[in-house]
Amino acid sequence: MDFLSEVLDWFANNWDGSAGYVARLAEHLNVSAVSVVIAAGLAIPPAAWIGHRGKGAVLGASLANLGRAIPSFGIVALSLPVTIWLAKRLPFIDSGLGFFPTAVAMVALAIPPIFLGVLTGVREVDQDTVEAGRGMGLSEVQLLTRVELPLASPLILSGLRVAFVQVVATATLGALVAYGGLGRFIVDGFAQHDDVELFAGAVLVAALALLSDWLFRLLARRLPTSRVVSP
């Protein structure tokens, strides 16, 4: 049997059960979505405020870019002793392996593109528009939430899109610390010299990343301030 038909065979036979690719896909999306939502919560408020004030923008952007230079596997490995320590003390976390260290690394990976998207988007809002809003008596917070953030939404969404696609492609690392997800097929396939499983896993991750990218672009086109922005 040639390689391609073995791969097709794999897809036909490995979809169900807790180790099937449907369950792995759900785990993969779970850690990716949770991480990007947390990263957005952490990155959007400071980025929006710095963008609005205009001060410290260069410093903020530099710090965010610096964050991009840290390899995600390094974060997984470094955070492992910390997550294990925390899991023993926090009752709502049942394990310091798996989801928790994976999510820590994925949040760190997602922060820079989200931060930069918001910062750039807010800074690039036409100052005349902002001044007009100020003239109408809007407070600084109102200016940000009613004028700047809506106008910046294409760039903000673009940042979220880049973050999510990167996280989907990188969450495979979770398999190194006993998490499930699609990385399981790649890591186990490599360790067991099962090229079919490894290849199938890689195909699934690539397909999921491309699909997410496409969905985000579709969403961006439907925004009222529709203007698709590429990074």
Partner 1 sequence: MLRRILALSCALGLVAAACGDDEEIGAGPTVKISSFNFGESQILANLYAEALTEKGIPVELKLNLGSREVVKPALENGEIDLIPEYTGTLLGFLKGSPSSDQNKTYEDLVTELEKIGLTALAYAPAQDKNGFVVTQATADQLDLTKVSDLAGKEADLIFGGPPECPQRDLCLKGLETIYGLSFKEFKPLDVGGPITLTALEGGEIDVALLFTSDGSIAAKGFVLLEDDKNLQPAENVVPVVRKAIADAYGDDLAKALDPVSKKLTTQALTELNRQVGIDGKDPAVVAKQWFTANM
Interface with partner 1 (CB under 8 A): 77, 80-81, 84-85, 87-88, 95-97, 175-178, 184, 187-188, 190-193
Q: How far is the CB of 192 from partner 1 (least distance, A)?
A: 5
| C-beta closer to partner 1: residue 141 or 191 | 191
Q: How far is the CB of 215 from partner 1 (least distance, A)?
A: 31
| C-beta closer to partner 1: residue 164 or 179 | 179
| C-beta closer to partner 1: residue 18 or 230 | 18
The answer to whether 133 and 155 are in contact (CB under 8 A) is no
Interacting residues of 110 by C-beta distance below 8 A, sequence separation 6+: 35, 36, 39, 40, 43, 163, 164, 166, 167
Q: How far is the CB of 176 from partner 1 (least distance, A)?
A: 7
Q: How far is the CB of 167 from partner 1 (least distance, A)?
A: 21
| C-beta closer to partner 1: residue 60 or 96 | 96
| C-beta closer to partner 1: residue 53 or 88 | 88
